Amino acid sequence: MLTIFQTLGQWKTKDEKLVPYHEYLKELAENFEKITFTYTPRVKNHFADALATLASMVSITKGNLIEPLEIEITKGPAHCDAIEAIDAKPWFEDIKHFLQTGQYPQFANHRNRKTLRLLATHYFLSGETLYRRSLDATLLRCVDGQEAQRLIQEVHGGSCGPHMNGLMLAKKIMRFGYFWSTMETDCVKHVRHCRLCQVYADKIKAPPNELHPMAAPWPFSMWGMDVIGPINPKASNGHLFILVAIDYFTKWIEAITLASVTVKAVAHIIARYGVRDLGLQDASSQDGRMSASFNR
């Protein structure tokens, strides 16, 4: 933008490096009857900007001949996105073709052929229908993807569908005499997306009981205090009692030794932290006297 305005004469050229550039540009402009200058941003001119940057980085001495560099731009198709085409053939097409003709797929290598032979031992072809031999010698009819989805929807949520979990759904479909290679995965995925199962299923992560408001909603709002003693032997300072105070929210613990349990002895704890709402003690006589004195 700066160079364009300087070339048009609207701005002055203050940079000494640009003065020879503008003088040479004026000499070239005299060869044209009409010439216009248009500013092209760097974002839209990557190729020219890269060439200019490379040229400025090369030092050329006088007397060296530089051969012109020809750059060709090849026009070719640009692939913006790749879309995976869905094959209309069922998943058992290769197994069925191998049992019918004994031929392998066209691009199968040695490992693929060995795998196909092992898989074919578990299947039985009756006419145009392929069956899978189960562990109890039951023949399960192999179905394609569309029929598998219809079976899942009907068995899981049909007129008599009990909305069982994914593994039970796969086992029930097998008891009905159907099979496909991704039964368990498809059944579990279908159950996870079933709206009725999400609404009425057991909340396994929910608490077993109803939630209740917190008794101590903020720090130092409720303390639990207890007095231990008299202790035997005495402490090194001659004290017989230990006063323990625990904050219900932060679980902060304060413990001091006392010669006798009085309000004056525990006043610095209350003055330090404060009891905004509630203080709890047990039903011992010592705590009772302390609470009565403190309440007064």
Alpha carbon distance 203, 54 (integer Å): 66
DSSP secondary structure code for residue 132 in this structure: E
Between 129 and 32, name the one with better pLDDT: 129
CATH fold group of domain 222-295 = Nucleotidyltransferase; domain 5 (3.30.420)
* pLDDT for position 261: 76
pLDDT band at 215 (very low <50, low <70, confident <90, very high): low
* pLDDT for position 96: 92
Alpha carbon distance 283, 7 (integer Å): 97
Evaluate whether 236 touches 227 at the Cβ level (below 8 Å). no
Give exposure, 237-275, as e/b (b: 16+ Cβ within 10 Å): eebbbbbebbbbeeeeebeebbeebeeebbeebeeeeeb
Between 57 and 107, name the one with better pLDDT: 107
* pLDDT for position 24: 82
Handedness of CA 203, 205, 208, 210 (dihedral sign): negative
In this predicted model, what pLDDT tens digit does every residue of 2-50 receive, in sequence order? 677 777 777 777 777 778 877 888 888 888 888 887 777 767 777 777 8
List C-alpha distances in Å: 13 to 23, 233, 254: 11, 97, 78
C-alpha 287: how far from chain center: 54
* pLDDT for position 86: 61
In this predicted model, what pLDDT tens digit does every residue of 236-281 receive, in sequence order? 888 888 888 888 778 888 888 888 777 776 666 666 666 555 555 5
* pLDDT for position 34: 84
The percent of residues in the chain predicted with pLDDT above 70, rounded, is 75
User: Can you list the positions of beta strands (E) in the chain?
Assistant: 123-126, 129-133, 139-142, 178-179, 222-228, 241-247, 253-258, 278-280
Cβ neighbours of residue 174 under 8 Å, at least 6 residues apart?
Answer: 134, 140, 183
Is residue 104 predicted with pLDDT exceeding 70?
A: yes
* pLDDT for position 242: 85
Between 208 and 159, name the one with better pLDDT: 159
* pLDDT for position 80: 60
Alpha carbon distance 234, 242 (integer Å): 11
Between 227 and 175, name the one with better pLDDT: 175
Tell me the average pLDDT across 86-92.
78
List C-alpha distances in Å: 147 to 35, 144, 179: 71, 6, 10
